[in-house]
Structure 1
Amino acid sequence: DCYKSLNDLPVDALDRITVYLPPDVLLPLLPEIAAANAREVWFNPGSDRDDVIEQARELGIPVIQACSIVDIGRMPGEFGN
């Protein structure tokens, strides 16, 4: 299923948000991400520009700068282009 925003997800709490968005697209979404109160938010390579990470931390987002695919023991190349 696809949802327009994190607020539309049919869950009470999120454990992990993993972000694969260009920084300029991501910046205006940071307040919504902060409001989701996820335990961890992964900023994957390409989304983790310095100004994005700085603003995320200012908003209290629990930042992890790493590839979430690698974290689960897989390689990004396994999923095609």
Structure 2
Amino acid sequence: MSKVVAVIGASNNRQKFGNRAVRAYTREGYTVIPINPHEDVIEGLRAYASVLDVPGPIDMASFYVPPEIGERVIEEVAQKQIPEVWFNPGAESDALVARARHLKLRPVVACSVVALGQNPYAL
């Protein structure tokens, strides 16, 4: 069974890292759930407005939104009981990481695409 990842801030713009992450995770065999309140489909995958709209469990969330948006979304991630959260470059803040820890989540501040062993600029 593949790991389920929610890409927070997924995009149809193939130049944006929120799109590159969707493609990278898909390439690595993950079940990818794009999260974007303004899109219905991203890279051929059904997109959801919120992680709370997704049926079934999610193993991890990868953030590609500014910290001020992340500070709202992290509450939904905790409510959905997504244990692992990745704050990619530009999505992190000290307050957001502290809030994730307070909510008993496991925050990782790093580029999730690089952690997959891929070059995000080559996608």
TM-score scaled to structure 1, two decimals?
A: 0.86
Unpaired segments ≥5 residues, structure 1: none
The answer to which structure has the higher strand fraction is 2
The answer to which structure has the higher helix fraction is 1
Which aligned runs of 4 or more in structure 1 are off by greater than 3 angstroms?
none
Unpaired segments ≥5 residues, structure 2: 1-45
Instruction: Give, in angstroms, the shift of residue 39 of structure 1.
Output: 3.3
TM-score scaled to structure 2, two decimals?
A: 0.59
2:114 matches 1:70: yes
Residue matched to 1:61:
105
Question: What secondary structure, in the 3-state scheme, does the structure 2 residue paired with 1:41 have?
Answer: strand
Superposed, 1:2-81 pairs within 5 Å as 2-10=47-55, 12-79=56-123
CA distance in 2, matches of 1:39, 1:61: 5
Aligned residues: 78
> Comparing both chains, which one has the higher relative contact order based on Cα–Cα distances under 8 Å and sequence gaps of 6 or more?
1
